[in-house]
Amino acid sequence: MFERGQKTKLAPLPATIFVPERDVDKQPILEAHNLGIDFGGLTALDGFNFAVSPTEIAGLIGPNGAGKTTVFSLLSKVYQPTRGAILLNGRDTMGMSTVQVNRAGIARTFQNIRLFNNLTVEDNVKLGLHNHIKYGMLSGILRTPNYWKQEKSAAMRVKELLSIFNMEHMVGKRAGSLPYGAQRRLEIIRALATGPKVLLLDEPAAGMNPSETDELMENIVKVRDTFQIAIVLIEHDMNLVMGICEGICVLNFGKIIAKGAPGDIQNNPLVIEAYLGRQKKDGQHAES
Amino acid sequence: MNLQKSTLNAVFTYTLVVVAFVVAQGLIKSGNISSTLRGQLAPICAYIVMAVSLNLTVGILGELSLGHAGFMSVGAFSGVVACVSLANVIPLEPLRLVVGMLVGASCASAVGFFIGIPVLRLGGDYLAIVTLACGEIIKNLVTCMYVGMDSHGLHFSFLTSASALQLEKGGKVIINGPMGIAGIPKLSTFTMGFMLVMFTLFIVMNLVNSRAGRAIMALRDNRIAAESVGIPVTKYKLMAFVTSAALAGAAGALYAMNFSTVVATKFNFNTSILILVYVVLGGLGNIWGSVVAAAVLTVLPEMLRGFNDYRMLVYAVVLIIVMIVTNNARFKAIPTRLKKRLRGASNV
């Protein structure tokens, strides 16, 4: 359908998603056109149209099993879509692998934390920097001056990145031994280290207490402001979503049921129905 | 902090090997070593290299490989062929052995590369089964191989007999099919073995603490996460596997050049398992553990000769005891308790 990596001429998306004022003139960084995927006979996602502007914080919400994580898996190329196209910075990502799409600028975190548990915090972040550390296998074995130079600058970058979440003191700890909240933060830092243009956060606040969540909200905004990147997040904590997301997209049964700014979403009858069920007129029990 | 820890670990490992070498040399000089044990010193070095290189695949990369002896076999036979055929070109023996090891390493790495491409697409048990099969295939292929040399150069024949090589008068059969190689020049020395061990440790430990090594360990810990941060899976899997095969090849050359004859059936499934036992008992991912385990477990059967018929039984019991003890929580806590006590003493 599209040549890989080519600029494609797709019709602009209907402007239903919220675009922050500062990004009005800019082309969206990430676009999904009519995206869909079937697993066997099951349609997990269908007709997903979505755009994120370059410095937007966008939210993806919906009840359990709505297809939110599937969207992330498609965006990060864990699955290849059955239908539709994903454009990153105007370029089609069709046929790209997870590795290639990461190098192109999409980084993600996982719903169930996936850290390199037996490695230290420092090594985890250095692995995020993997494609920015430039020396080969041989100079690694022979310990050339380039090795020392690159490792030193990487270590400094690791410190910088860890300082975003005040985790510098954990540098030498084993990632698997960190408390839950710190593991979530480390995963975000590792994703940030890859130098993404779009950061996908899959339930960043899961398992956090309210004060940790508040801190996380501040940090997500801080990350966006410092790195000037787009952030898409899946979250069940409505406090967080309504607090920091500028544009929200609501999924249910693999279809978008609403898109817009937080205020519009909160009052949308379809959304309320998806979350709380419909009030039956005849007094029967509510359908979930 | 982390760099310091890994550096300390490396220094400890090098020191351990150097001290062991010096002690063994001292024992040889003073004549306090039995002749059997003395003859075992070079093979011990070969087994240490095998164990360390297998640890790279099993402990660092996290893929169970049961065909490691196959690479040793490739290295042994190609190394010996190189050493025998170059006898007139390079008269200096240690240099000839080094060339033999290099040839063995490059042949083994080539085989490792071609086996690795299809095999590393598999994971877990399937990979173990296929590597096991590959080891057996290599063994059987080498058994059917005939190589000879005359003034025209090397002759090669497969599945026939030594006469099919059509060597001219004065030509020499090097690999004689199922009979293997006879009359190998004894080039291996304990010193050369020691140097190969140091070289292996240098390669493996520096690799582990570099960008590539981190990527390899990342694949072990979480492949999906590794892909998500842009680490190409196949490249680093192959890198670890081929490096491991190359070192095994060099070890094979060293091993073969210690004996007058060597046959392909020596490098069978049992040898692969034996090396895996060294790796597991030494601790997965623990390099100095592999060194110690390989050395001790090679010497142990000799030391148990006093038990005569019950030797292998006692050997098995010792293995079981080591496994139980090293997995004991109390035993594991000893280093930390010692550290605490030392710290407590220094505070007072």
pLDDT of B58-99, one tens digit each? 999 999 999 999 999 999 999 999 998 888 888 888 899 999
Plot region of A231 (φ>0 → left; ψ -120 to 50 → alpha; else → beta): beta
Compute, in degrees rounded to 10, the torsion defined by CA atoms B200, B203, B204, B208: 170
Residues of B in contact with A126 (CB under 8 A): 211, 214
Name the pLDDT band for B176 (thresholds 50, 70, 90): confident
What is the rounded distance in angstroms from the CA atom of residue B41 to the CA atom of residue B43?
Answer: 6
Cβ count near B324 (within 10 Å)? 10
**A131 and B CB contact within 8 Å:** yes
pLDDT in tens, B6-25: 788 889 999 999 999 999 99
Residues of A in contact with B229 (CB under 8 A): 102, 107, 127-128, 130, 190-191, 193-194
Query: What is the pLDDT at residue B345?
Result: 65
C-alpha neighbours within 13 Å on the C-beta side of residue B126: 6
Query: What is the pLDDT at residue B135?
Result: 93
Query: What is the pLDDT at residue A21?
Result: 65
Which chain A residue's Cα is nearest to B203? A141
Mean pLDDT of all residues belonging to chain A: 85
Name the pLDDT band for B1 (thresholds 50, 70, 90): very low
Nearest to A233 by CA among A193, A188, A271, A266: A188
Query: Which of A102, A137, A142 has the CB atom closest to B230's CB atom?
Result: A102
Query: What is the pLDDT at residue A10?
Result: 52
Q: Are strands A247-252 and A57-61 parallel, antiparallel or unpaired?
A: parallel
**A133 and B CB contact within 8 Å:** yes
**A97 and B CB contact within 8 Å:** yes
- The verdict on a CB contact (< 8 Å) between A172 and B5 is yes
Query: What is the pLDDT at residue A1?
Result: 40
Which chain B residue's Cα is nearest to A76? B228
Which residues, in sequence order, are CB contacts of B330 under 8 Å at separation 6+? none
Name the pLDDT band for A19 (thresholds 50, 70, 90): low
pLDDT > 70? residue A280: no
| Single-letter code of the amino acid located at B110 | A
**A115 and B CB contact within 8 Å:** yes
Q: Provide mean pLDDT across the span B108-133.
A: 91
Which chain A residue's Cα is nearest to B5? A172
Name the pLDDT band for B318 (thresholds 50, 70, 90): confident
CB pairs under 8 A between A and B: 103
**A168 and B CB contact within 8 Å:** no
Q: What is the pTM of this model?
A: 0.87
**Strands in chain B per DSSP E:** 145-150, 153-158, 172-176
**Quick one: fold of A1-105+196-288?**
Rossmann fold (3.40.50)
Query: What is the pLDDT at residue A286?
Result: 47
More confident residue, A170 or B5: A170
C-alpha neighbours within 13 Å on the C-beta side of residue A105: 19
Query: What is the pLDDT at residue A285?
Result: 53
Q: Are strands A83-88 and A30-39 parallel, antiparallel or unpaired?
A: antiparallel
Enter the tokens of residue B348.
């007072």
C-alpha neighbours within 13 Å on the C-beta side of residue A152: 7
DSSP secondary structure string for all residues of A154-177: HHHHHHHHHHHTT-GGGTTSBGGG
- Exposure pattern of A173-202 as b/e (b: 16+ CB <10 Å)? bbbeebeebbbbbbbbbbbbbbbbbbbbbb
**A149 and B CB contact within 8 Å:** no
pLDDT > 90? residue B205: yes
- The verdict on a CB contact (< 8 Å) between A119 and B232 is no
Bridge partners of residue A106, in order along the sequence: A198
Name the pLDDT band for B321 (thresholds 50, 70, 90): confident
Q: Are strands A230-234 and A247-252 parallel, antiparallel or unpaired?
A: unpaired
Query: What is the pLDDT at residue B338?
Result: 82
pLDDT > 80? residue B342: no
> In degrees rounded to 5, what are phi and psi of residue A83?
-135, 160
- The verdict on a CB contact (< 8 Å) between A143 and B206 is yes
pLDDT in tens, A30-77: 888 889 999 988 899 998 888 888 888 999 998 888 889 999 999 999
Q: Which domains does chain B have, with CATH numbers?
A: 2-347 (1.10.3470)
- The verdict on a CB contact (< 8 Å) between B212 and A123 is no
Domain ranges of chain A: 1-105+196-288, 114-194
CA of A244 vs chain B CAs: smallest distance (Å): 25
pLDDT > 90? residue B172: no
